[in-house]
Amino acid sequence: MPDRAFISTELDRRIAVAQRARDAGQMDARAANRALMPWAAAEAWLVGHRGDAISPRDGQTPAGELCPLDATIGELTRARDTLARQIDEEGKHDRMPRYIGLRDAVRRLALMQLLREGYRQKPAAPVPMPRNALPSSQPSLLADMFGPDGKPLPIERNAA
């Protein structure tokens, strides 16, 4: 069985942390759900069914309904930057694989956002070509070698 995608594993980890916080009374269910939405959307954008950003958890919720793409990128970017600070300042190098996974997820989501914006833009209006843009037509030397019936014209011995 292939390895699960990083974002799915990270979402599972965050669900477990939110569940423990909720069980300890540190967070209510609504706040936990709100905190998890960008991660669920990221999973749908990156691992979604049929390539159309449908959540792989339930197979029917579009990523855009979970959390907008720009908010998803913002949340993952904040998590990536926090993790980078922990690695740099506190020397927690064991978190490097998570940092790399987050970095790659943010890059893929940002690329997806650029592509979506590019498709939404209106195509540029065609630019008319000026009449003098093409060189003036010159008579063809090849056409001078054939007659109106398409047969080659005889070459005069003096012309060659």
Angle CA 94–95–97, to nearest 5: 100
pTM summary value: 0.70
Query: Is residue 2 predicted with pLDDT exceeding 70?
Result: no
pLDDT tens digits, residue range 28-81?
999 999 999 999 999 999 998 656 788 888 888 999 899 999 999 999 999 999
Contact 101, 7 (CB under 8 A): yes
Q: What distances in angstroms separate CA 124 from CA 109, 119, 127, one per listed residue?
A: 26, 12, 9
What does residue 152 show for φ and ψ, rounded to 5 degrees? -65, 145
Instruction: Give dist(CA 141, CA 27) in Å, integer.
Output: 86
Instruction: Give dist(CA 45, CA 34) in Å, integer.
Output: 17
pLDDT band at 139 (very low <50, low <70, confident <90, very high): low
Query: Is residue 6 predicted with pLDDT exceeding 50?
Result: yes
